Amino acid sequence: MIDKDSKIFIAGHRGMVGSAVWNNLTDNGYTNLIGQKSADLDLRNQLEVEYFFANEKPKVVIDAAARVGGIMANKSYPYQFLMDNMRIQNNLIESSLAHACEKFVFLGSSCIYPKFSPQPIKEEYLLTSELESTNEAYALAKISGVKACEYIRTQFGKDYSSLMPTNLYGPRDNFDLETSHVLPAMITKFHEAKLDNHETVTLWGTGSPKREFLHVDDLAKAVLFSLENKLPDNLYNIGTGEDISIYELANLIQEIVGHEGEIKWDSEKPDGTPRKLLDVSKMSDLGWKAQIKLKDGIKATYEWYLENSYDLKKVKIS
Protein backbone atom coordinates (compact mmCIF):
# COMPACT_ATOMS: atom_id res chain seq x y z
CA MET A 1 0.00 0.00 0.00
CA ILE A 2 0.99 3.59 -0.62
CA ASP A 3 1.25 5.82 2.45
CA LYS A 4 -1.32 8.61 2.59
CA ASP A 5 1.47 11.20 2.67
CA SER A 6 3.34 9.75 -0.33
CA LYS A 7 3.95 12.26 -3.12
CA ILE A 8 1.56 11.45 -5.96
CA PHE A 9 1.79 13.24 -9.30
CA ILE A 10 -1.50 13.32 -11.22
CA ALA A 11 -0.74 14.23 -14.83
CA GLY A 12 -3.76 15.93 -16.39
CA HIS A 13 -5.20 16.84 -13.00
CA ARG A 14 -7.51 19.54 -14.39
CA GLY A 15 -9.37 17.34 -16.87
CA MET A 16 -12.49 15.27 -16.29
CA VAL A 17 -10.57 12.14 -15.28
CA GLY A 18 -7.66 13.79 -13.50
CA SER A 19 -9.86 16.06 -11.39
CA ALA A 20 -12.08 13.13 -10.39
CA VAL A 21 -9.00 11.16 -9.32
CA TRP A 22 -7.63 14.15 -7.41
CA ASN A 23 -10.92 14.70 -5.54
CA ASN A 24 -11.30 11.02 -4.73
CA LEU A 25 -7.78 10.69 -3.34
CA THR A 26 -8.23 13.86 -1.30
CA ASP A 27 -11.51 12.54 0.10
CA ASN A 28 -9.72 9.35 1.11
CA GLY A 29 -7.00 11.12 3.08
CA TYR A 30 -4.14 11.44 0.58
CA THR A 31 -2.38 14.65 1.50
CA ASN A 32 0.56 15.06 -0.88
CA LEU A 33 -0.92 15.35 -4.36
CA ILE A 34 0.85 17.41 -6.99
CA GLY A 35 -0.23 18.60 -10.41
CA GLN A 36 1.01 20.97 -13.06
CA LYS A 37 -0.94 23.10 -15.52
CA SER A 38 0.04 22.53 -19.14
CA ALA A 39 1.20 26.16 -19.33
CA ASP A 40 3.77 25.38 -16.62
CA LEU A 41 4.81 21.89 -17.72
CA ASP A 42 4.57 20.70 -21.32
CA LEU A 43 4.38 16.93 -20.97
CA ARG A 44 5.38 16.57 -24.63
CA ASN A 45 8.76 18.11 -23.84
CA GLN A 46 11.20 15.48 -22.61
CA LEU A 47 13.60 17.93 -20.95
CA GLU A 48 10.83 19.71 -19.05
CA VAL A 49 9.41 16.41 -17.78
CA GLU A 50 12.84 15.11 -16.78
CA TYR A 51 13.60 18.34 -14.90
CA PHE A 52 10.23 18.14 -13.11
CA PHE A 53 10.82 14.55 -11.98
CA ALA A 54 14.39 15.27 -10.88
CA ASN A 55 13.11 18.07 -8.64
CA GLU A 56 9.82 16.64 -7.39
CA LYS A 57 10.66 12.92 -7.18
CA PRO A 58 7.08 11.61 -6.96
CA LYS A 59 6.56 8.17 -5.48
CA VAL A 60 3.46 7.49 -7.58
CA VAL A 61 2.42 8.72 -11.03
CA ILE A 62 -1.13 8.61 -12.39
CA ASP A 63 -1.22 9.35 -16.10
CA ALA A 64 -4.59 10.96 -16.87
CA ALA A 65 -3.09 13.30 -19.49
CA ALA A 66 -3.83 12.91 -23.18
CA ARG A 67 -4.73 14.73 -26.35
CA VAL A 68 -8.36 13.77 -26.95
CA GLY A 69 -11.07 14.70 -29.43
CA GLY A 70 -14.08 13.51 -31.37
CA ILE A 71 -14.24 11.60 -34.64
CA MET A 72 -13.62 14.64 -36.85
CA ALA A 73 -10.56 15.76 -34.87
CA ASN A 74 -9.12 12.23 -34.90
CA LYS A 75 -9.65 11.89 -38.65
CA SER A 76 -8.28 15.36 -39.43
CA TYR A 77 -5.15 15.28 -37.24
CA PRO A 78 -4.02 11.64 -36.89
CA TYR A 79 -0.32 12.54 -36.80
CA GLN A 80 -0.79 14.93 -33.88
CA PHE A 81 -2.98 12.43 -32.00
CA LEU A 82 -0.36 9.72 -32.45
CA MET A 83 2.73 11.77 -31.69
CA ASP A 84 1.41 14.04 -28.93
CA ASN A 85 -0.01 11.12 -26.96
CA MET A 86 3.13 9.04 -27.42
CA ARG A 87 5.34 11.94 -26.33
CA ILE A 88 3.21 12.57 -23.23
CA GLN A 89 3.11 8.98 -22.04
CA ASN A 90 6.67 8.09 -23.08
CA ASN A 91 8.10 11.04 -21.14
CA LEU A 92 6.04 10.18 -18.07
CA ILE A 93 6.81 6.45 -18.19
CA GLU A 94 10.53 6.91 -18.87
CA SER A 95 11.00 9.54 -16.14
CA SER A 96 9.01 7.42 -13.67
CA LEU A 97 11.31 4.48 -14.34
CA ALA A 98 14.46 6.60 -14.20
CA HIS A 99 13.47 8.17 -10.88
CA ALA A 100 12.33 4.96 -9.18
CA CYS A 101 8.61 5.67 -8.90
CA GLU A 102 7.04 2.81 -6.99
CA LYS A 103 3.72 2.82 -8.83
CA PHE A 104 2.56 4.01 -12.24
CA VAL A 105 -1.09 3.93 -13.29
CA PHE A 106 -1.61 4.34 -17.02
CA LEU A 107 -5.13 5.35 -18.08
CA GLY A 108 -6.31 4.67 -21.61
CA SER A 109 -9.50 3.79 -23.42
CA SER A 110 -11.44 0.77 -24.63
CA CYS A 111 -10.72 1.99 -28.19
CA ILE A 112 -7.44 0.05 -27.95
CA TYR A 113 -9.37 -3.12 -28.75
CA PRO A 114 -10.12 -4.38 -32.27
CA LYS A 115 -13.15 -2.96 -34.05
CA PHE A 116 -14.86 -6.36 -34.33
CA SER A 117 -13.88 -7.93 -31.01
CA PRO A 118 -16.07 -10.73 -29.67
CA GLN A 119 -18.43 -9.45 -26.97
CA PRO A 120 -17.90 -8.84 -24.13
CA ILE A 121 -14.34 -7.68 -24.79
CA LYS A 122 -11.63 -9.42 -22.77
CA GLU A 123 -8.17 -7.99 -22.16
CA GLU A 124 -6.66 -10.86 -24.14
CA TYR A 125 -8.31 -9.59 -27.34
CA LEU A 126 -5.78 -6.76 -27.60
CA LEU A 127 -3.90 -6.83 -30.94
CA THR A 128 -5.91 -9.73 -32.35
CA SER A 129 -7.33 -7.81 -35.35
CA GLU A 130 -7.72 -4.37 -36.92
CA LEU A 131 -8.65 -1.20 -35.04
CA GLU A 132 -11.48 1.23 -35.70
CA SER A 133 -10.07 3.47 -38.42
CA THR A 134 -11.57 6.74 -37.15
CA ASN A 135 -9.45 6.72 -33.97
CA GLU A 136 -6.61 4.42 -34.98
CA ALA A 137 -3.86 6.96 -34.25
CA TYR A 138 -5.06 7.58 -30.69
CA ALA A 139 -5.53 3.85 -30.10
CA LEU A 140 -2.05 3.01 -31.37
CA ALA A 141 -0.52 5.55 -29.00
CA LYS A 142 -2.41 4.09 -26.06
CA ILE A 143 -1.50 0.54 -27.03
CA SER A 144 2.18 1.52 -27.00
CA GLY A 145 1.71 2.89 -23.47
CA VAL A 146 0.07 -0.34 -22.32
CA LYS A 147 2.95 -2.34 -23.77
CA ALA A 148 5.60 -0.04 -22.25
CA CYS A 149 4.09 -0.57 -18.80
CA GLU A 150 3.86 -4.31 -19.42
CA TYR A 151 7.52 -4.54 -20.45
CA ILE A 152 8.66 -2.49 -17.44
CA ARG A 153 6.65 -4.80 -15.18
CA THR A 154 8.22 -7.95 -16.66
CA GLN A 155 11.75 -6.63 -17.15
CA PHE A 156 12.19 -4.49 -14.03
CA GLY A 157 9.58 -5.93 -11.66
CA LYS A 158 7.87 -2.55 -11.21
CA ASP A 159 4.26 -2.16 -10.09
CA TYR A 160 3.07 -0.49 -13.30
CA SER A 161 -0.51 -1.10 -14.42
CA SER A 162 -2.88 -0.02 -17.19
CA LEU A 163 -6.58 0.68 -16.65
CA MET A 164 -8.78 0.83 -19.77
CA PRO A 165 -12.17 2.43 -19.07
CA THR A 166 -15.26 2.17 -21.22
CA ASN A 167 -17.19 5.30 -22.33
CA LEU A 168 -16.83 7.86 -19.55
CA TYR A 169 -19.16 10.66 -18.49
CA GLY A 170 -19.57 12.99 -15.53
CA PRO A 171 -18.56 16.42 -14.20
CA ARG A 172 -16.16 18.41 -16.42
CA ASP A 173 -17.19 16.43 -19.49
CA ASN A 174 -17.22 18.05 -22.94
CA PHE A 175 -20.78 19.14 -23.79
CA ASP A 176 -20.00 20.86 -27.08
CA LEU A 177 -22.22 19.45 -29.84
CA GLU A 178 -19.42 19.56 -32.41
CA THR A 179 -16.82 17.61 -30.44
CA SER A 180 -18.55 15.76 -27.58
CA HIS A 181 -19.38 12.08 -27.24
CA VAL A 182 -22.90 10.68 -27.37
CA LEU A 183 -24.04 10.98 -23.73
CA PRO A 184 -22.99 14.59 -23.03
CA ALA A 185 -24.13 15.57 -26.54
CA MET A 186 -27.60 14.23 -25.76
CA ILE A 187 -27.72 16.20 -22.51
CA THR A 188 -26.97 19.38 -24.44
CA LYS A 189 -29.44 18.59 -27.24
CA PHE A 190 -32.35 17.77 -24.95
CA HIS A 191 -31.66 20.71 -22.65
CA GLU A 192 -31.50 23.23 -25.49
CA ALA A 193 -34.63 21.75 -27.08
CA LYS A 194 -36.41 22.00 -23.73
CA LEU A 195 -35.56 25.70 -23.53
CA ASP A 196 -36.85 26.13 -27.10
CA ASN A 197 -40.45 25.10 -26.30
CA HIS A 198 -39.61 21.39 -26.28
CA GLU A 199 -38.79 21.29 -29.96
CA THR A 200 -38.06 17.99 -31.72
CA VAL A 201 -34.65 16.43 -31.14
CA THR A 202 -33.09 14.61 -34.09
CA LEU A 203 -30.54 11.90 -33.33
CA TRP A 204 -28.27 9.93 -35.65
CA GLY A 205 -28.95 6.35 -36.72
CA THR A 206 -31.63 3.95 -35.57
CA GLY A 207 -30.81 3.89 -31.86
CA SER A 208 -30.17 0.14 -31.96
CA PRO A 209 -26.40 0.01 -31.12
CA LYS A 210 -25.59 -0.78 -27.51
CA ARG A 211 -22.95 1.00 -25.46
CA GLU A 212 -21.53 0.80 -21.93
CA PHE A 213 -21.13 3.96 -19.82
CA LEU A 214 -19.04 4.50 -16.68
CA HIS A 215 -19.25 7.49 -14.36
CA VAL A 216 -15.84 9.11 -13.99
CA ASP A 217 -16.05 8.87 -10.18
CA ASP A 218 -16.17 5.08 -10.50
CA LEU A 219 -12.99 5.21 -12.58
CA ALA A 220 -11.43 7.36 -9.85
CA LYS A 221 -12.32 4.64 -7.33
CA ALA A 222 -10.67 2.06 -9.57
CA VAL A 223 -7.50 4.18 -9.55
CA LEU A 224 -7.66 4.33 -5.75
CA PHE A 225 -8.08 0.55 -5.67
CA SER A 226 -4.99 0.14 -7.84
CA LEU A 227 -2.99 2.31 -5.41
CA GLU A 228 -4.10 0.40 -2.35
CA ASN A 229 -3.60 -3.05 -3.88
CA LYS A 230 -0.83 -4.64 -5.91
CA LEU A 231 -2.46 -5.70 -9.15
CA PRO A 232 -1.06 -9.04 -10.35
CA ASP A 233 -1.29 -8.20 -14.06
CA ASN A 234 -0.71 -5.17 -16.25
CA LEU A 235 -3.98 -4.64 -18.15
CA TYR A 236 -7.48 -4.29 -16.68
CA ASN A 237 -10.81 -3.31 -18.20
CA ILE A 238 -12.77 -0.77 -16.16
CA GLY A 239 -16.51 -0.65 -16.75
CA THR A 240 -19.92 -1.64 -15.45
CA GLY A 241 -20.30 -4.90 -17.36
CA GLU A 242 -23.72 -3.67 -18.54
CA ASP A 243 -24.78 -1.84 -21.67
CA ILE A 244 -27.80 0.05 -22.95
CA SER A 245 -29.14 0.77 -26.42
CA ILE A 246 -28.72 4.31 -27.73
CA TYR A 247 -32.52 4.40 -28.08
CA GLU A 248 -32.98 3.60 -24.38
CA LEU A 249 -30.25 6.08 -23.44
CA ALA A 250 -32.02 8.84 -25.34
CA ASN A 251 -35.30 8.16 -23.55
CA LEU A 252 -33.55 8.10 -20.18
CA ILE A 253 -31.76 11.43 -20.76
CA GLN A 254 -34.96 12.98 -22.14
CA GLU A 255 -36.77 11.99 -18.94
CA ILE A 256 -34.02 13.35 -16.66
CA VAL A 257 -33.73 16.65 -18.54
CA GLY A 258 -37.50 17.07 -18.69
CA HIS A 259 -37.80 17.45 -22.45
CA GLU A 260 -41.36 16.71 -23.60
CA GLY A 261 -40.96 16.97 -27.37
CA GLU A 262 -40.53 14.34 -30.06
CA ILE A 263 -37.40 12.32 -30.77
CA LYS A 264 -36.66 11.64 -34.42
CA TRP A 265 -34.08 9.11 -35.59
CA ASP A 266 -32.20 9.91 -38.78
CA SER A 267 -31.64 6.42 -40.17
CA GLU A 268 -29.69 7.89 -43.09
CA LYS A 269 -26.85 8.50 -40.64
CA PRO A 270 -24.59 5.58 -39.62
CA ASP A 271 -25.17 3.54 -36.48
CA GLY A 272 -21.55 2.56 -35.90
CA THR A 273 -20.42 -0.67 -34.25
CA PRO A 274 -23.49 -2.68 -33.10
CA ARG A 275 -22.12 -3.42 -29.63
CA LYS A 276 -19.12 -2.52 -27.49
CA LEU A 277 -19.14 -4.07 -24.02
CA LEU A 278 -16.15 -4.75 -21.77
CA ASP A 279 -15.63 -7.92 -19.81
CA VAL A 280 -14.79 -6.52 -16.36
CA SER A 281 -14.52 -9.84 -14.51
CA LYS A 282 -10.74 -9.61 -14.14
CA MET A 283 -10.96 -6.44 -12.04
CA SER A 284 -14.14 -7.43 -10.21
CA ASP A 285 -12.52 -10.72 -9.15
CA LEU A 286 -9.93 -8.63 -7.29
CA GLY A 287 -12.62 -6.72 -5.41
CA TRP A 288 -13.44 -3.59 -7.44
CA LYS A 289 -16.86 -2.98 -8.99
CA ALA A 290 -18.60 0.10 -10.38
CA GLN A 291 -21.16 1.50 -7.94
CA ILE A 292 -22.93 4.42 -9.64
CA LYS A 293 -26.15 3.48 -11.45
CA LEU A 294 -26.51 5.05 -14.88
CA LYS A 295 -29.68 7.00 -14.07
CA ASP A 296 -28.18 8.42 -10.86
CA GLY A 297 -24.96 9.30 -12.67
CA ILE A 298 -26.76 11.11 -15.49
CA LYS A 299 -28.86 13.07 -12.99
CA ALA A 300 -25.73 14.21 -11.17
CA THR A 301 -24.03 15.07 -14.47
CA TYR A 302 -27.01 17.14 -15.60
CA GLU A 303 -26.98 19.00 -12.28
CA TRP A 304 -23.29 19.80 -12.82
CA TYR A 305 -24.05 20.89 -16.38
CA LEU A 306 -26.71 23.33 -15.18
CA GLU A 307 -24.49 24.76 -12.46
CA ASN A 308 -21.37 25.15 -14.58
CA SER A 309 -22.21 25.39 -18.26
CA TYR A 310 -25.03 27.90 -18.32
CA ASP A 311 -25.92 31.09 -16.49
CA LEU A 312 -29.45 29.90 -15.85
CA LYS A 313 -31.90 29.74 -13.02
CA LYS A 314 -31.55 26.34 -11.44
CA VAL A 315 -33.95 23.84 -12.98
CA LYS A 316 -35.43 21.15 -10.79
CA ILE A 317 -34.58 17.67 -12.02
CA SER A 318 -37.31 15.05 -12.05
Clarify whether 138 is annotated catalytic. Answer: yes
Annotated active-site residue in 138, 160, 302, 305:
138
pLDDT at position 318 over 60: no
Domain made up of 8-170+214-241+278-282: CATH architecture: 3-Layer(aba) Sandwich (3.40)
State the DSSP string of 178-202. Answer: TT--HHHHHHHHHHHHHHTTT--EE
| DSSP label at residue 14 | T
Q: Do 214 and 165 contact (CB within 8 A), yes or no? A: yes
Q: What is the pLDDT of residue 310?
A: 57
Domain made up of 182-209+244-276+293-309: CATH architecture: Alpha-Beta Complex (3.90)
**Lowest mean pLDDT, pick from 73-77, 211-215, 237-241, 312-316:** 312-316
Binding-site sequence positions for NADP(+): 12-18, 107-110, 142, 165-168, 181
Mean pLDDT over all residues of the chain? 94
**Lowest mean pLDDT, pick from 131-135, 173-177, 269-273:** 269-273
Binding-site sequence positions for substrate: 189, 204, 211, 271
> Residue 201: in which H helix or E strand, if any?
strand 201-204
> Model's pTM, two decimal places?
0.94
Binding-site sequence positions: 12-18, 107-110, 142, 165-168, 181, 189, 204, 211, 271
**Lowest mean pLDDT, pick from 12-21, 65-74, 127-136:** 65-74
| Max CA separation in the chain (angstroms) | 62
Residue 165 preceded by cis peptide, ω within 30: no
Cα gap 165→167, rounded to integer Å: 7
pLDDT single digits (tens) 261-273: 999 999 998 887 8
Residue ranges of the domains in the chain? 8-170+214-241+278-282, 182-209+244-276+293-309
pLDDT at position 38 over 60: yes
pLDDT single digits (tens) 268-304: 988 878 899 999 999 999 999 999 999 999 999 999 9
pLDDT at position 181 over 90: no
